[in-house]
Amino acid sequence: MEKLWSPWRSQYIDSIKENKKDKGCIFCQMAEEDADDVSNLVIDKGKYTFTILNLYPYNNGHLMVVPYRHTNNFSSITGEESAEVFQKLQLAEKALKDVMNPEGFNMGANLGKVSGAGIDEHIHFHLVPRWNGDTNFMPVLGEVKVISQDLLMTKKNLRNAYTKLLG
């Protein structure tokens, strides 16, 4: 079996560790931010969850749905939180289809540090848009991941799609 390495992930994880020492949970901080503020990555806020762009995305449009309640235990997610997580993932899928027209998606959560979670103390759920050919030689040979769209421009486009979808 061939293995593909993503060395940029370790830099990301190391930066999170440094931030945690000084500031606490990044998701708890982001929960306080206003989705209408164009300077942050919050896309949508619900009653139990909020949706954000990933600062270190695997692909353009990589979104995460995060419960407000600080927990790392999947089995502690309440029925209300669980229902809203999936409603918000469905809304995110619709908005991403409208804005970016992906050919598919990866969806999931990394539970625990050993599963690949960069932020393991606050559970969150990923929705990553995918296109045919979006994996290439850059991360392997160049040790870099190319994200071809500015995050705040992506936010603006997605906020417009959310506004339209939520009517």
**Catalytically active residues, by annotation:** 124
Q: Would you give the DSSP letter of residue 15?
A: H
Q: Which residues contact 12 (CB under 8 A, 6 or more apart)?
A: 56, 118
Q: Are 53 and 40 in contact (CB under 8 A)?
A: no
| Distance, CA of 93 to CA of 124 (rounded, Å) | 16
* Backbone angles phi and psi of 149, in degrees to 5: -130, 140
Alpha helices, DSSP H only, in the chain?
A: 7-23, 26-30, 79-100, 138-141, 151-166
Determine the angle formed by the axes of helices 151-166 and 79-100, rounding to 10 degrees: 110
Q: Are 69 and 108 in contact (CB under 8 A)?
A: no
- Write out the two tokens for 28: 């708890």
